[in-house]
Amino acid sequence: MPHTMTGLDCWIRKGPSCAGLAPGVRLGLLAHSASIDRSARHAIELLCNDDRGRLTRLLAPEHGLWGHEQDMESVADRTDSISGLPVISLYGSDEASLRPRVEHLDGLDAVIFDLQDVGTRFYTYVYTLSYLMETARDAGIPVVVLDRPNPIGGVAIEGPVLHEGFESFVGRYPLPVRHGMTAGELAGLFNAEFGIGCDLRVVKIEGWARETSFERTGLPWSPPSPNMPTPTTALVYPGGCLIEGTNLSEGRGTTLPFELVGAPWFVGTALADAMRGEHLEGVVFRAASFRPETRKHAGSACGGIQIIVTDPARFKPFATYLVLLREALRIDPASFAWRTETYEFETSRLAIDLLLGREDLRPMIESGATLAEMEAGWSDELGAFLELRRKFLLYP
């Protein structure tokens, strides 16, 4: 089994010099509950006790510093009860709160980013990184990314590339849904291709190859958000998050978020049979009944299915859930509906369109298009993205 060292592990072993910084540097840290080393010690604990630098300020993304807040729940500035340091929230009550202000970085010599991403365009942490990079550029200080493995691998890519006009906090740049890059690699892409131009320094992972599954890294898993309890959750998320764009439960408030899908009116056997008929690789389907304790349909028994991954190497999450949406709509068109409420501060477009990242896919789902017909619409764009990303890959 590889002995993988995250960027945080490398920083603790080598000190600020691994990012070209001098001893005694004054640091800000953008962190969350999954900012841990190989021994599950948190970055705040480690940096507060490291006299080679001075940790003076904390920043927190969506879900807050310790993962208390649920999806799309605003987070207030506060004082961290463990370290006593001030915490600046980068997920407040309006869209402006997503971007740090220059004064938030006053008195710092550098700001560190150490968030565990999950390899999917929808996950908001890499866009928080992009906003931090822009502000740090304006403040004239470097951004240090302590890189971490992509938990769903660095080889497979899947899904459509985001089109212009569909930018949001669940998709700021033209990435495919499953991009196969680490946060450090994405930072390099954002910096060079999308005009940020900050002083970017990436502390690379050691002992990780692109095809290495998270389970084989030997690293501990800590949920990076409240409904991301396991690496398997991350694996289904590139498709499972699409359910947020509907009135179906995506399993939030259960022990299997994004693996369970259903609603109080749904008969799970019909959907399970339809999905089995698609002969999708690396996955099987179980008719299920579940009761979410929070979020959609909280307290109500829901019929639906469980998506069970049997072969991660062959499983295509986006394709699987795209077919699931089509079949759920076909089976019960009178009850199925697209979400119309505000989604990640966006009011002018449907959530499903923001997640799909283009205007042609939802009509294809509604018309019953085949998976092959839908995938044909983005194959050329995936090829172009593969060529672009090659310049920014840091690992074999």
> What is the DSSP track for 279-339?
T-TTEEEEEEEE--SSSTTTTS-EEEEEEEES-TTT--HHHHHHHHHHHHHHH-TTT--B-
The Cβ-side half-sphere exposure at 69, using a 13 Å CA radius, reads: 19
Name 140's Cβ contacts closer than 8 Å, sequence gap at least 6.
none
Q: What is the mean pLDDT of residues 296-303?
A: 97
pLDDT at position 1: 53
Taking the model in full, what pTM does it have? 0.97
Tokens matching residue 9? 């592990």
Please write the tens of the pLDDT for every residue from 49-104: 999 999 999 999 999 999 999 999 999 999 999 899 999 999 999 999 999 999 99
Domain boundaries, the chain: 7-225, 231-359
- The radius of gyration of the chain's CA atoms, rounded to the nearest angstrom, is 21
The residue written with tokens 């089109």 in the block is 163
Q: What is the mean pLDDT of the chain?
A: 97
Q: What is the mean pLDDT of residues 194-205?
A: 98
CA distance 11 to 17: 8
The Cβ-side half-sphere exposure at 142, using a 13 Å CA radius, reads: 17
pLDDT at 2 over 90: no
CATH code for the structural domain at 231-359: 3.90.1150.140
The kind and range of the H/E element at 274 are helix 268-276
CA distance 313 to 374: 22
Name 28's Cβ contacts closer than 8 Å, sequence gap at least 6.
55, 56, 57, 58, 59, 104, 105, 108, 110, 111, 112
Cβ atoms within 10 Å of 227's Cβ, excluding its own = 23
CATH code for the structural domain at 7-225: 3.40.50.12170
